[in-house]
Amino acid sequence: MLVAASGARAQKLLEELKVWLETNPLLLADFPEVCVAIRKLERVAHRQKGQRFRGEPTRIEWGATRIVLPAIPGSAASGVVIQCSGMEGSELRGASFARYDGRILRPTHVLVDDPQTRESAFSPTQCDSREQIIKADILGMAGPGEQMACCITMTVGADDDLAHRLLDRKRNPEFRGEKYRLLESPPKNVELWERYRELREADLMNDGDGSEATEFYRENREAMDEGAVVSWPARYNPKTEISAIQFAMNLKFRDETAFLSEYQNEPVAKIDESGEGMVDAITIINKSSGYKRGVAPLESQLLTGFIDVHKDLLYWASVAWERNFTGVVVDWGTYPEQKKLNFQLSEARPTLSDVAKKKAFDARQKIPGLEGALTGALETLVETLFERGVQREDGALMRYDRILIDANWGEMTDVVYQFCRRSRFGANLLPSHGMGVGASSRAFGDYKAQRGDVVGLHWRVPNAIGKRSTRHAVIDANFWKSFIHGRLATAPGDPGCLSLNGDPGERGLIASHLTAEYCVPTVNERTGRRVNEWKLRMRRPDNHWFDCLVGACVGASICGAKLPTTPGETAPTRKVRRVSFSELQQRRRRR
C-alpha cells in the first residue's frame, strides 16, 4: 500500500513508480521478467487482459490506483500488488486482493509518504484525526496473525504536529523514528557568513546571480566551513554553488523559518505572531501625542532622524526626544512623496528613477544611473529636512542633532558614505549598518573595542579607517526593535513613552510597518543567552518605517538620551590608551 495525504497525491506517486518500471534500465537488468512484460504493453492499457507468457495469461494489471505485476513462473515478484490511497480513502479499511491462485492478499508493507499538509500540521484536530487513521486504519490492514511493516517519511512542520508525535518514542513506542538535518552542525565563523550574506543579497538585488558572494566563499572557504557538518555533501547546485554547506546557508538566509522546518526538521514552535512583548497596530494608531504632524512638544531636547534607502524610495522619520527617552514621532514620509495614503514599496509611483529622469529632462542633461539618482535624492531630502527642521509648540525651531542613513544596501554603501562625507551637513550625518544579532550569534557586547571606537547601548561607532574614512554606526537591530515596542507600550506620562503625531487615519500605514515583524524569544542552549529575534511575517509586508524608528532611537542614544530603567546601560565611552611621560615629551618636541 502506498498512502499519501490525498488520493491525488497517492496516484501521482504510483504514476511515477509506473514510469520507473517502464523506463529504468537498472530495474530492467535486475527484474527482466517484470519490466519486459510491462514494456510490451507499450502504454496501451487494454492489452493487459490479453497478454500471455508461454500460452498462459500474465494477469498483469496496470490501473490508476493499483498495479499487479505479471505472473511469471519462478519470479519472486510474480503477482505482487501495489495499491495507492489517500489518508481518508475507502481503500484503507479492509484492503484485500484476490489472486489468480485463490489466495486472498492483505497488505504486508505500507509506505506512508508525507501524510500531513501544511494546514493540517498547525491543526490539533487534524493531527489527532490523522494519527488515529494511521494507528487504527493503516496498522489494522494486516491479515489475521500476520505482521505488517509500516514506513512513514515526513517532515516536521510544527510543534506537536503528526511527525512530532510519531517521533516521540514515549508517546508512540512502536515507531522507531529518526530525525535528519541537512546542516548537522552550523559553521563557527558568523562574521564571514554575515559578510557573505550582504554580498549575496546586494548582488541579487542588482539582478546578479550571487557569483560575487560565491567568489568570496571560494577565497575564504576553509575559515567559513570550520565547524560545519552536512548530512548530504552532494546536495548543492554545481552551477551556482561550491558545496552543500554553501547550499544550506543560502537556504537559511533566504528564509530561516522555512529552512528550520523543511531542511532541519526543527520548526519554530507554533508562534503567536502577535509576538511576546509586542504592541498591536490598534494600540499604535491610538497612541496619540496630541500634536499635528511636524510639531514637537515643549519638553523636547533632541531631534533625530533616519533615512531608509531603497532602489525606488527613501523612507524617513523624525523623532523629538527628551533625554529620558520620552519621544514623539514628529513626522514621517518618503522621497519622492507618494500620492496614495496607503501604498507598498513594490507599487511606488513616482520612484527615484522617475524623479531623476524628469530633472535630467528639464535641465536637458544625461539621465543619471542608479548611483546618481540615489545621490540626488539624498541631497534633496537631507537639505529639505535640515533647512525645514521641526517647529516646537512654543514657536522655537529645532534643528537635527543627528540623522542616520541606511548603508546596508550592497553596492550603494559607498554612495551613502561618499554622500555623508561630502555633504555640508556631514557633521550631523552618520551612515549606519543594522545587524540581526541572534542568540546563536556573537553577543554584541563581546566585540573588543579598538582605539578610537565609541561604544554605547547596543551600538558602536568604530574608528574611521580604510578607504571610506567615514564614521559609521553599527546597530544591534533586535535589541532596538524590542526597545521601541517597549516605548510604545509605556503609558503616556511615564518616562520613556513613545507616541505619534497626526490623526488616527494618518497613523494607520506607519502602524502596519511597526507591526510587520514579530519577535521570537530564543535561547542559546550552550551559553544560556536569551534574545528576542525579530522576523518578518509570512506575508512579507513593508517594515521600513520600523527601521526608521530604530535608527532615530539609536541617534538619540548617541546624542546622550538615557532610559533610567534600562539595565546595564552605560554612557558612551571612548577607548583611551595610556601614554607614557617619555612619549608625551616626544610628541611635544615633534609639535
Residue position matching grid coordinates 495469461: 57
pLDDT tens digits, one per residue of 544-568 = 999 999 999 999 999 999 987 544 4
pLDDT tens digits, one per residue of 42-73 = 888 788 888 999 999 999 999 889 999 999 99
pLDDT tier, 575 (very low <50, low <70, confident <90, very high otherwise): very low
Quick one: pLDDT at residue 580?
Answer: 54
Between 125 and 289, the more confident residue is 289
pLDDT tens digits, one per residue of 297-325 = 999 999 999 999 999 999 999 999 999 99
Residue position matching grid coordinates 574608528: 463
Quick one: pLDDT at residue 569?
Answer: 43
Q: For 355-408, where are the E strands, in sequence order?
A: 390-392, 397-398, 402-406
Longest CA pairwise span in the chain (Å): 114
Burial of 264 (0-12, 13-18, 19+ CB in 10 A): buried
The number of angstroms, rounded, from the C-alpha of 319 to the middle of its chain's C-alpha atoms is 29
* Mean pLDDT, residues 575-590 taken together: 56
Quick one: pLDDT at residue 544?
Answer: 96
User: Which cell is 429 given?
Assistant: 550625518
pLDDT tier, 570 (very low <50, low <70, confident <90, very high otherwise): very low
38 within 8 A of 80, measured Cβ to Cβ: no
pLDDT tens digits, one per residue of 490-524 = 999 899 999 999 998 889 899 999 998 888 888 77
- Collect contacts of 163-168 with beta carbons under 8 A, ≥24 apart: 163/116, 163/121, 163/265, 165/127, 165/131, 166/131, 166/134
pLDDT tier, 90 (very low <50, low <70, confident <90, very high otherwise): low
Residue 161 has pLDDT above 80, yes or no: yes
In the chain, the amino acid numbered 80 is V
Quick one: pLDDT at residue 120?
Answer: 77
pLDDT tens digits, one per residue of 422-466 = 999 999 999 999 988 887 778 887 788 888 889 999 999 988 766
Arithmetic mean of pLDDT over the chain: 87
Residue 272 has pLDDT above 50, yes or no: no
User: Which cell is 381 given?
Assistant: 531630502
Question: Mapping DSSP to helix (H, G, I), strand (E, B) and coil, where does residue 341 land?
Answer: coil
CA neighbours closer than 13 Å in the CB half-sphere of residue 425: 22
- Does this model's pTM top 0.85? My answer is no
Quick one: pLDDT at residue 231?
Answer: 93
